[in-house]
Amino acid sequence: MIKRILGNSGLEVSALGLGCMGMSYAYGITPERNEMIKLIRNAVEQGITFFDTAEVYGPFINEELLGEALAPFKGEVVIATKFGFAPSKNDSSKWTDLDSRPEHIRAVCEASLKSLQVDAIDLFYQHRVDVNVPIEDVAGTVKDLIKEGKVKYFGMSEAGANTIRKAHAVQRVTALQSEYSLWTRDPEKDILPTLEELGIGFVPFSPLGRGFLTGKMNENTNFKSTDLRNTLPRFTPEALKSNQSFIDVLEKMAVTKNATTPQIALAWLLAQKPWIVPIPGTTKLSRLTENNGAVSITLSPQDLQEIEKSASQIHIIGERYPEANMKMTGR
């Protein structure tokens, strides 16, 4: 597996990481735990060294899964986890409240160290910006944790450019994690130029559009009642039907490259910047292997221009999240 460095931080990881959320949370039926442990360990065998989780995935269950699966590979892999969510004051079963108070960050850090079975958290992201806590206090708390040897690198997720700058002035931000793919281009306007200027790496989550860019969905696709996508505007039957034009663009290029649709979607992301490291998630070994094949695909400037020309003519139907969730992004 080809390696990449996240910005100017010196943190080297595999060019593709593995998003592990769906192994415990969000997409309907939870896969069998032992099978996911096998999948994670197979990812290591295939050269993946970068794994993404969060306290809220489960909650706790996903971190514990990675802690067990990656215990034999301590020192060989990079595990990223996140703080910033807390149980809702109205319903403790729902982790929808934001909490980035320094004391909460410290409590999450201690819990994550235990769940992950590590002595230090490799990359500790603020999951969403908490407007009730100055970002300088958040960055300062993580800075202290780094000094104490409990955290190695600081990251942010779905933060706006100005907030990133403020945080970076206190403690170097190693990576920003936000949604980015051929059908989610929002970071290109302000975020990517800011990251390039400051030497911050970019970790796109949902690089395959939560499964849409695999080409396996249409307006007749049914999701389990507990599947997160039931709540997302882009996954209504009308939106799925209208947005199929993106699949046509990817399939056309896939034919010329003797590749698959998701491989082209990932290769397109990898071609945008050398400090971009997508983290596609999967619960299937065949998909893991397929995704990893994207690193071997080279898209020429002409290929990229062709994709850009076709994609620019498509009008996307549906927001990424419901309005309440969108208010937590880009702050």
93 has a pLDDT exceeding 80: no
Percent above pLDDT 70 for the chain: 100
47 has a pLDDT exceeding 90: yes
pLDDT at 312: 92
DSSP 8-state assignment for residue 79? E
Tell me the pLDDT tens digit for each residue of 259-292: 999 999 999 999 999 999 999 999 999 999 999 9
Q: Which residue has the higher pLDDT, 327 or 42?
A: 42
Catalytic residue among 25, 27, 57, 180: 57
3-326: what fold? Answer: TIM Barrel (3.20.20)
Task: Report the range of poorest mean pLDDT among 106-110, 119-123, 216-220, 274-278.
Answer: 216-220
Give the N- to C-terminal CA distance of the chain in Å, as an integer.
Answer: 34
The b/e string for 281-314 (b: 16+ C-beta within 10 A; e otherwise) is bbbeeebbebbbebbebebeeebeebbeebbeeb
71 has a pLDDT exceeding 90: yes
- Rounded to two decimals, the pTM is 0.96
- Picking from 165, 237, 226, the residue whose alpha carbon sits closest to that of residue 200 is 165
Known active-site residue 25: no
Residues in CB range of 123: below 8 A, 6 or more apart = 11, 78, 79, 80, 81, 152, 153, 154, 155, 174, 175
Our separate counts of H helices and E strands in the chain read 12, 11
Helix axes 33-45, 61-69, angle to 10 degrees: 50
154 has a pLDDT exceeding 90: yes
The b/e string for 200-222 (b: 16+ C-beta within 10 A; e otherwise) is bbbbbbbbbbbbbbbbebeeeee
Annotated domain spans of the chain: 3-326
Confidence band, pLDDT 50/70/90 cuts, at residue 25: confident
Tell me the pLDDT tens digit for each residue of 120-152: 999 999 999 999 999 999 999 999 999 999 999
318 has a pLDDT exceeding 80: yes
pLDDT at 314: 93
pLDDT at 315: 92
pLDDT at 324: 85
Tell me the pLDDT tens digit for each residue of 2-14: 999 999 999 999 9
**Residue 212 near residue 243 (C-beta atoms within 8 A):** yes
Q: Which residue has the higher pLDDT, 95 or 297?
A: 297
Confidence band, pLDDT 50/70/90 cuts, at residue 170: very high
The span from the CA of 209 to the CA of 164, in Å, is 24
Calculate the average pLDDT of the chain.
Answer: 96
pLDDT at 94: 82
* Burial (CB count <10 Å: 0-12, 13-18, 19+), residue 151: buried
Percent above pLDDT 90 for the chain: 91
Structure tokens belonging to residue 9:
């931080």
